[in-house]
Amino acid sequence: MPFKTRVTEMLGIEHPIVQGGMQGVGYAELASAVSNAGGLGTLTALTQPSPEALREEIERCRAMTDKPFAVNITVLPTILPPDYKGYAQAAIDGGVKIIETAGTQQVREIWEMVKPHGIKILHKCTAVRHALSAEKHGCDIISIDGFECAGHPGEDDIPGLILIPAAADKVKIPMLASGGIGDGRGLVAALALGAEGINMGTRFCATQEAPIHDNVKAKYVENDERGTNLIFRKFKNTARVGKNEVSDQVVEISARPESTFEDIRPLVAGAVGRELLQTGDLSKGIFWAGMVQGLIHDVPTCRELIERIVGEAEEIVKARLGGMLA
């Protein structure tokens, strides 16, 4: 029996499980597989070289699923910003009804663009104060991202066990729990802490349909809960990535008092990261990964993964927790 929450109702999905938008991973193959399995798949706008390419990817995804899927638009602090509004317009024109956003305050311009079209906005935050601001500015769902997550966990270092209920105490709109979740236990815990669904990134990277090299998927399975590095701390832009020789080197260089971002730029460039995902050569660059690697032991299909998570969660609620009531 599926779990019914405000998130499943609002997004029109069967299970309260969302695939996060991941740079270099959020293509139609993965998004459609997640949506077809009853979750919400997500295309990543900035994975596409242009808004026109995103239009084509939306059409490609629509040909692979008749279920809802989202488009992620992450607004990054950068000197030469991409055409964010062009990507948003591509999503509007493509009839996408859900957008996942993240990033700097500039993202509000995207919200203003998509709102009149009845598009649901799912915004990713790493702090309660940011979640409240997003709610105030009209977002529909908050994805609250704990310190365990892959990508950018913010600078507050608050893990999900505290951050999720702290946000749930104050945020009135529905909330997804994100970071460190990869199985049915995580889903039940998220619901117990006040969320109404989960958002998974790293766990969906280790699936059959994820369009990345098998060597990278094997690394997710091989790494345990200690298998990440925090980088960019020195530059107040903390990122959690998979532990490999390159990210170890980035940590080592960054620890030198005199080091600057230019000293690590060649190791962390987006182009070498994309090459790593495509070729499986782990010596090429860094790859995003969360602490949840410690809970990843196989590479199932998206359908197998989602059905397993929901089945485990149902068993926990009915049998394990129910049996503990005196």
pLDDT at 76: 86
pLDDT at 82: 93
pLDDT at 243: 97
Which residues make Cβ contacts (< 8 Å) with residue 75, sequence separation at least 6?
A: 81, 84, 101, 102, 103, 104, 106, 107, 110
pLDDT at 276: 96
HEC profile for 198-228?
EEECHHHHCCCCCCCCHHHHHHHHHCCCCCE
Which residues make Cβ contacts (< 8 Å) with residue 300, sequence separation at least 6?
A: 207, 208, 308
Query: Taking 90 as the threshold, does the pLDDT of residue 7 lie above it?
Result: yes
Model confidence over 185-221: pLDDT tens digits?
A: 999 999 999 999 999 999 999 999 999 999 999 999 9
pLDDT at 77: 80
Model confidence over 99-118: pLDDT tens digits?
A: 999 998 899 999 999 999 99
Binning pLDDT at 50, 70 and 90, where does residue 92 land?
very high
Nearest to residue 152, comparing CAs of 238, 26, 261, 75? Answer: 238
Binning pLDDT at 50, 70 and 90, where does residue 322 land?
confident
Report, in this order, helix, strand and coil percent for the chain, each rounded to 5. 45, 15, 40
pLDDT at 2: 83
Binning pLDDT at 50, 70 and 90, where does residue 326 land?
confident
- Give the three-class secondary structure for 42: strand
Q: From CA 238, how far away is CA 41, in angstroms rounded? A: 26
Query: Taking 90 as the threshold, does the pLDDT of residue 79 lie above it?
Result: no
Tokens of 233: 């701390």
pLDDT at 104: 86
Q: From CA 273, how far away is CA 267, in angstroms rounded? A: 9
* Domains of the chain from N-terminus onward: 6-209+301-324 (3.20.20.70), 214-291 (no CATH)
Query: Are 142 and 171 within 8 A, CB to CB?
Result: yes
Binning pLDDT at 50, 70 and 90, where does residue 314 land?
very high
Measured at the alpha carbon of residue 176, what is the angle toward residues 207 and 173, in degrees to the nearest 5?
155
- Bridge partner residues of 111 (DSSP): none
Binning pLDDT at 50, 70 and 90, where does residue 137 land?
very high
pLDDT at 295: 98
% of the chain surpassing 90 pLDDT: 94
Query: Are 294 and 225 within 8 A, CB to CB?
Result: yes
pTM for the structure as a whole: 0.96
User: Edge-to-edge strands of the sheet including 17-19?
Assistant: 17-19, 198-200, 175-178, 141-145, 120-125, 98-103, 69-75, 41-44
Query: Taking 90 as the threshold, does the pLDDT of residue 149 lie above it?
Result: yes
Query: Taking 90 as the threshold, does the pLDDT of residue 30 lie above it?
Result: yes
Q: Cβ atoms within 10 A of the Cβ of 10, count?
A: 17
Q: How does 28-67 read in b/e, with b if 16+ C-beta sit within 10 Å?
A: bbbbbbbbbbbbbbbbbbbbbeebeebbebbeebbebbeb
Q: From CA 219, how far away is CA 237, in angstroms rounded? A: 25
**H helices present in 137-269, as ranges:** 160-168, 184-193, 202-205, 214-222, 245-254, 261-268
Model confidence over 45-74: pLDDT tens digits?
A: 999 999 999 999 999 999 999 999 999 999
Model confidence over 165-195: pLDDT tens digits?
A: 999 999 999 999 999 999 999 999 999 999 9
Q: From CA 45, how far away is CA 107, in angstroms rounded? A: 14
Taking residues 270-285, what's their average pLDDT?
94
